Amino acid sequence: MTQTKAITDAITSLADAENRFGFVRIESEGFFSEWCEELPALTEADKANLDVLRRRYLYHRTFGNLLEGTVMLLLVSPLLALAGFYDPPFRIKAEESVDVVVDDGEEILRGRIDVLVLQNRFWVMVLESKKTTLSVWSALPQALAYLMANPNPHLPVFGMVTNGDDILFVKVVQADTPQYDLSRVFAPFTSVRELYSVLQILKRFGQAVSSV
């Protein structure tokens, strides 16, 4: 009999994700070059918009930790808009339910991803920053599980995980053996230059997923 479990309950560590799906991390710039090579230049308008976005985020952040919805409203949604993900040919789906079948159909892992862009090729996962333990690293195991739900397994899929203060990018290629790698952690809370880099990477992802 097939069992259904919540992804957040079944995948609680990186070891869980690697053991359930056979993930292998490929620590090579050639595997995940999209976050560090051939990044598009930003316009002065882009930078001005990011400056305003960061000031607004910092203003609200100084009053305490922010809930998931507030991080989405203040940071994630404006970033996606500036990167062009709200315009053709991209399509947005919010709060989308996903199922991942494991163990030859014996088990279904179910979860809900915050934002899907362009037919599941780019996914965004937002964390509540209620506690310091809720870092982007704590969400990585679940993010990998969500990315395995990509309905186009022959194509690479990208993810962004953020709690507002930090942003991490992930790339997954399923192939015969599921492979993944990570970007460095970007911290827009500390410098606007970090936010400039994040927007460049998002635009680079847009180029990558729309050209296939």
Q: Report pLDDT for 50.
A: 98
Q: Report pLDDT for 118.
A: 67
Report which of residues 195 and 119 the model is more confident about: 195
**pLDDT greater than 70 at residue 151:** yes
pTM: 0.89
Q: What is the mean pLDDT of residues 141-154?
A: 84
Average model confidence (pLDDT) across the chain: 85
**pLDDT greater than 60 at residue 129:** no
pLDDT tens per residue across span 152-192 = 888 899 999 988 899 999 999 988 889 999 999 999 989 99
**pLDDT greater than 70 at residue 104:** no
| Domains in the chain, CATH or no CATH each | 3-210 (3.90.1570)
**What whole-number distance in Å separates Cα of residue 129 and Cα of residue 132?**
7
